[in-house]
Amino acid sequence: MRQTSATDLSGSLEDLLDGYSGCFDVIYLCHVLEHFGLHEIYSTLAKFKQLLREGAGQIYISVPNFEVLASMYLAGVVELQTIVRAIHGGQEYEGNTHYISFDRKLLSTALIGSGFTHVQEYKPSEFLPSGITDTSLYRIANRLVSLNIKARA
């Protein structure tokens, strides 16, 4: 994981599991999950679940919403060059490539298949602390382009 000013802990998932298994009440992944490979999604989500307190911990996930992005493109609202970074990542540094796209059904299925429950959408404006904005609130052509899903461990 990449260290930023908003990051509390940084390291590989395995590093975090070694010292923090079952320790967290909340994990927030904002435009992170799409950077894992298609065949890693279930195991990656299961590892994040291990970090959460069983039955009480929650994961909040924001990813580019492929359904919204594709519908905007197909309707002629935006050109591909406007949404290509949201679909494939900015690719300006190593690791900034998207390996999978999500819609609500795919992300919900992956969460349930990884042992999460109570899967539902959330409004980032009601979750984020006052004064904090991130890509979960990003708009293209005045439409929110992130899928925001939460689930319980």
Tell me what pLDDT residue 95 has: 84
**Measured over all CA atoms, what is the biggest interatomic distance in the chain, rounded to whole angstroms?**
49
The domain ranges of the chain are 13-152
Tell me what pLDDT residue 2 has: 59
Tell me what pLDDT residue 18 has: 86
User: What span, in angstroms and rounded, lies between the C-alpha atoms of 122 and 14?
Assistant: 28
Chunked into runs of 10 residues, the chain (153 residues) has average pLDDT values of 66 84 94 95 96 95 98 97 95 91 98 97 93 93 97 97
User: What span, in angstroms and rounded, lies between the C-alpha atoms of 66 and 69?
Assistant: 5
Tell me what pLDDT residue 25 has: 96
Instruction: Please give the structure tokens belonging to residue 73.
Output: 């493109």
Tell me what pLDDT residue 1 has: 56
What pairs with residue 151 in β-bridges?
59
User: What span, in angstroms and rounded, lies between the C-alpha atoms of 94 and 82?
Assistant: 22
Tell me what pLDDT residue 17 has: 85
Contact between 146 and 65 under an 8 Å Cβ cutoff? The reply is yes
pTM: 0.91
Tell me what pLDDT residue 99 has: 96
> Do strands 143-144 and 139-140 pair parallel, antiparallel, or not at all (unpaired)?
antiparallel
User: What span, in angstroms and rounded, lies between the C-alpha atoms of 79 and 51?
Assistant: 40
Tell me what pLDDT residue 61 has: 98
Tell me what pLDDT residue 16 has: 84
Q: What is the CATH number of domain 13-152?
A: 3.40.50
